[in-house]
Amino acid sequence: MSQASEMPPAAHQGWAIFIAAGLLAGVASAPVLHLLNDRYRFEPTGAMHTDPKLIEKERIDRSRGDWLSSAVQGGLLGAIFGVAFGGAEGFRRRSASRLLIGVLVGGVVGAALGTLGRNLIRDFALYCISNNMRGLLVSAAIQGLLWMGPVLGAVAGIGAASRSSGEGGKFAVAAVIAGVVACFAIPMIGQTVFPEDYTDRLPPEQWGQSALAAMLAGLVTGAGIAFAARPAAKESSA
């Protein structure tokens, strides 16, 4: 690729671009988190069936609806983060090809892992309910499963766009640490700001909770990556 089309990242873009990507990811994730929660869940008729075939059909329909709801929501959340942060790194590198690669890899990895993580939440929540487990650690674990895919999608997108194992590894560590911080911050702040709507064993459902969770996840992840990017940007421009 010619020097004109691929240039080293500028220092002033090193941190600001990831903050902007986190803001964009948070804004785009809020409606997905709220509007697509259990969107395709199967609602039983309420009739008492004795026919084993009808009972089995309802069980399959319920499982399919739960899986589809979780897959759509988790996949979209992961894709949003992967596209936003992968594209940000390509933009920071001033390379159209890197931007495209970052967007594609980040989106695909984020969607796949987001689908997996979101589908694990229901089983984990049922386990916690059956064993009367609740509290901050349970809430943080729920948030971890929800945002695992998006954060790792962001890491994959940045790594694909940066093409540097050293720099990509540093961003990955920063993103994971920031993701853990966000997983604890979301329930702690949510319980304080929305005490009536707060639930510690399910993803957020109300608009306020959804917006808070999405913005915290996006901005905290962006801030962590931005912090790691600042010294790298200074070195590149030195």
pLDDT at 55: 57
Residue 97 in contact with residue 41, Cβ under 8 Å? no
CA gap 205, 42 in Å, rounded? 18
pLDDT at 216: 93
Tell me which range, 27-41, 86-100, 188-202, is most confidently predicted by mean pLDDT: 86-100
CA gap 154, 222 in Å, rounded? 9
Residue 114 in contact with residue 74, Cβ under 8 Å? yes
Question: What are the pLDDT digits (tens) for 28-79?
Answer: 999 998 887 765 555 555 555 565 666 566 666 566 667 777 888 889 999 9
pLDDT at 57: 61
Alpha helix ranges (H) inside the chain = 11-35, 52-92, 96-130, 136-162, 165-193, 207-237
Question: What are the pLDDT digits (tens) for 101-149?
Answer: 999 999 999 999 999 988 888 888 888 888 888 788 888 898 999 999 9
**Does the reported pTM lie above 0.85?**
no
Phi, psi of 187 (to 5 degrees): -70, -35
CA gap 36, 78 in Å, rounded? 14
pLDDT at 215: 94
